[in-house]
Structure 1
């Protein structure tokens, strides 16, 4: 890949041409925190989305699906935090439609050009007076301040905002992909308590965007786990407004691999930030599996290991318990020969060819004291590889979730 993809450290969802964002404190559930966010493009954008696989789906999911189905275009996204608007029946659906209508009226666009998302407590009705006040008063701007305000507004138990931005060139023209996400607990896609919003000024065919997005999601957002719970509201949405003004991107375009890799980089960056900010977490865990028969098997093994409560607690306790890693790989459902397998903690070899390897416990403890812990599994059974990300499991996770609703 000859075109350089650059990470823009101060970039955001408003860095791509034509995008605006903002947040407002409407007191939906929280106090002293923004809880209504908006993204707006000054022209309608090609849209693609991936949603929760939970059969219990919140009202905003239905509304957004309907909006995108109309013509695969979205011009604005309205998001509230503090209340999921899930399991709220006909009233909840009516409320989600009202959010869409009020946002469309504010912006002077058609209702179906608005996507709706919510996150927070399940089973409670939204205070629609506060929601309407928030929508009427929210300001949006093409600035880093507007993007930061949006990123704050979508958070729930998150401890930090999650943003990413990358730039590259297509036909000599600068193209940008920016992103913002939220997610801290109930993370186990396909998808999790996760909202992700990507903006780009790339000019791209709708079918190609959806195909690329689904493939990228499988390698990034669908490869993270915090606690094994899949939520009712999860959505990752990408908007491409074409304002970079290059020719239409499809799979046949010579720069297609560049666009897809940049899309993957933004998605992986956001996914890892979500995993690192798992409720109560102290460490990001990255599991890489190499030498598998297929990409699917490598991904399954990696995600099973990083999702194991026993592995997660061992990492928190600074215990190089390779048996837990081996056990998780074994029940993943993938086929491999443990007698050909190697397991590493960072650079420290723990297990090889069916037998434990002597290693320094003290060196392992020092390694596990880092904020990023890498587990490497070599299957020596093929050419495929995969990765997954998660976090350690701590006492604080129990504390946060034992009192989440109260």
Structure 2
């Protein structure tokens, strides 16, 4: 086998120094690295230090005639199996989203036909700025892999999301992405190269995510605090593992993961219908926090106070139980996984739910934290996987890590079962 190759573009953020450790880790994994430094990045990292670690020339000048004669920026952009931008500043992300090519790094990014991974790092306010989030949404739509930044203390003294992930995490993500097939050639429509088969290739995975909104009147509804982040992370992980993924999403403001077919719904009944329409599936992972009740009759007009001081009467009825329905469905998925958000006796309630819903696994988590500190809406999760064989408890982990580990477990379970 030929040695896998990465083209590493280092842009000008304070975290650029971590690129040195990243190169060391990639070389240790047997991955060849060729580096490109932006002009700003050279203020933080020298070409000499990167060149020593890569054992290769470090590129930066678009108009270096020697470079153009020997390799050419078009050839350079296509010799790697993966192009990585780490750190990816707000500036270079904006240029990537807009298709600007005003230096060697951005020209390579516009000219490449290889997969691209961007690893953002910036001030927390810059990360949350509408312009940055808009650029990230565009890049995801364009097929760029985005690795979420970590939360923590910034070099500027502020605290929040925007820190570059540790080099070990980035190296692991790069190693995983190198196994993905290259995008299809825009001229021939054929894959640029054949990658190894992924663990969920040929499998259909059905996932629900987010809350449901059950209308009271045209203004008000019954809902919960679910953000959809965990379900969307699981959908993204399943797609990366090669599955055909159907994501039935309640009302959330999250971008659709790459390679995922998304169906938007609002109510529990709509979600039930969408789930049944998506069958058959090899695995169904019901992450959505579906409202247990809805109003018997939603008012056609806004309900007004009548001056009596008494609340308007609301008659509630149970919503369909999607997980239990799938457990007894004639097209029951081979592997059926439910989620249980509990505030007390987490394991006990999950064990009871496992039997009652006819599920294979229940992934239970404690959501008893105060608003703003709860798992619901947060970026981390501590889960307990309850099966007929017992309980497997995981430490508190970022939701994307939980997703990756869960999908690995799903792939292993499916491989052990007959089709």
TM-based fold match above 0.5: no
Larger radius of gyration: 2
| TM-score, normalised by the number of residues in structure 2 | 0.29
Task: Report which of the two has the higher share of strand.
Answer: 1
The normalised TM-score by structure 1 is: 0.29
Larger relative contact order, structure 1 or 2 (CA cutoff 8 Å, min sep 6):
1
